[in-house]
Structure 1
């Protein structure tokens, strides 16, 4: 009898310890009054620094909308493809909205929302004089890429390119201009935004058909069911209200088939 009592006491202690140590991020955010979000700061127009050095962009507006819904202030943490998930896992941020493609292996590490908020595919930016017309033209070519980007491997293994990895898009673009690589493989959404700049559109282009169209997933920490459910309903409202379409127009983007389709789906 004494043994049973001892075991029961241990189980009760463990249950109590678990309930104390398992935090509810949504409640914690409201309690501290600040939402901390990992965003891109080098991915115009989704997340970039303006002339005053402030991080602005389409995804920053989404993050601000989340903060307003929660009634808290917003803190932005600039992140790269190589560290954005780790920031979330380590508790450096509460939420990740950073141009992340939704991949099964990523769902094992972070809690990606069920509904995608955006979508993009992969393409290249290269000099017009390169005259690339197909992905096969990259065979034997040096191609700049971002560390951690999923399409690097396919660009090498399927199309025969040699990836020259960099930590950010700005480093990759600088390397492209310096001739360290013949093209830069990245999201077509970023490239389209970059080609809105006459300094790039004059000599550079996005010449290939876009492939690997992938939904973008925002994420919270694994196990955060309340926060996850809140973000799912928020994303659906973004689509239903046309908020994503409005932000595309605000930042000089043509309304994408994905955003138009989602808006129509939820009407």
Structure 2
């Protein structure tokens, strides 16, 4: 489904009408309410997770807390999944969304993006039992790829690895479990958090193969289309948080290592 068709169907399903999306809260509305609603996906540790107190924690909640503090409002975290990140923004259920929100030109037809928060590096996640060494090895009818619905890698796979069978699951916890149980051969997706995520399967000999040919993508805050005052403020806040070293410090705390690809911070948005 193209993103333009997705936008129309999304609007219809939400009862909004294709040309009349929900009115997003402006920066002034957020300040008056004294609350910033941020969507995060707790199935993406360490980006977000449920801690021992059953509270949402992780890189994204901690960064969202820093942003809310700059704005001088309280933070309300809203749980989202990969497939409903964009619908929550369009329906004004959140003011901004994270959840490893990669910027793409298709998504930018539906929502707006801020300057980058962090980079995303891609590769193959598989086990030592599999012979794969490069992306081209996945383009076979004998290969089953386990992927998460609504994620950036799927259009790439459909275009460049069309022979592979696709099994789509709702979240990364299910993806990881399916790979550990041998219900698929591999997954092509972001690999920044793989070491953290897969340590809960100590009996599995995992193999992670970087795919630099895919390129590097960047994750940003996603905001409602045309909500420029909020987007512009967030850009300034992110610039300050990057130059102060705050974003990198929070990243290293949760990912246990520096970003593989540094964000090229610039004062021009």
- Normalised to the residue count of structure 1, the TM-score between the two structures is 0.83
Match of 1:8 in 2: none
Instruction: Work out which of the residue numbers 165, 169, 174 in structure 2 matches 1:166.
Output: 169
RMSD: 2.1
Aligned to 2:167, the other structure's residue is in SS state strand
Instruction: Work out which of the residue numbers 224, 234, 250 in structure 2 matches 1:221.
Output: 224
Match of 2:134 in 1: 134
Match of 1:31 in 2: 32
Aligned to 2:192, the other structure's residue is in SS state helix
Once the two structures are superposed, residues 41-63 of structure 1 have per-residue CA deviations (whole angstroms, 9 ceiling, x without a partner) of 01111111112221111111111
Is 2:60 the counterpart of 1:65?
Answer: no
Instruction: Work out which of the residue numbers 206, 209, 217 in structure 2 matches 1:207.
Output: 209
Change in Cα spacing, 1:88 to 1:252, as seen in structure 2 (3 Å) is closer
TM-fit CA distance, 1:164: 0.4
Point out the structure with the larger helix share.
1
Once the two structures are superposed, residues 222-263 of structure 1 have per-residue CA deviations (whole angstroms, 9 ceiling, x without a partner) of 22221111001011112111112211221143212533x536
Match of 1:157 in 2: 159
Aligned to 1:76, the other structure's residue is in SS state strand
TM-fit CA distance, 1:192: 3.6
Once the two structures are superposed, residues 174-196 of structure 1 have per-residue CA deviations (whole angstroms, 9 ceiling, x without a partner) of 2212222111222112324324x
Match of 2:5 in 1: none
Match of 1:13 in 2: none
Change in Cα spacing, 1:199 to 1:66, as seen in structure 2 (3 Å) is same
Aligned to 2:30, the other structure's residue is in SS state helix
Distance of 1:177 and 1:192 partners within structure 2: 14
Bigger drift between 198-207 and 55-64 goes to 198-207
Match of 1:111 in 2: 112
TM-fit CA distance, 1:22: 6.5
Q: Between Structure 1 and Structure 2, how many residues are aligned?
A: 242
Aligned to 2:151, the other structure's residue is in SS state coil
The answer (yes or no) to whether the contact 1:80–1:168 under 8 Å persists in 2 is yes
TM-fit CA distance, 1:98: 1.7
Change in Cα spacing, 1:199 to 1:179, as seen in structure 2 (3 Å) is closer
Query: Can you give the 5+ residue segments of structure 2 that lack an aligned partner in the other structure?
Result: 1-21
TM-fit CA distance, 1:168: 0.5
Distance of 1:218 and 1:66 partners within structure 2: 11
Once the two structures are superposed, residues 112-143 of structure 1 have per-residue CA deviations (whole angstroms, 9 ceiling, x without a partner) of 11x21111132222111213211122122001
Distance of 1:134 and 1:22 partners within structure 2: 45
Distance of 2:196 and 2:71 partners within structure 1: 30
Distance of 1:236 and 1:58 partners within structure 2: 17
TM-fit CA distance, 1:201: 8.0
- Normalised to the residue count of structure 2, the TM-score between the two structures is 0.82
Query: Can you give the 5+ residue segments of structure 1 that lack an aligned partner in the other structure?
Result: 1-20
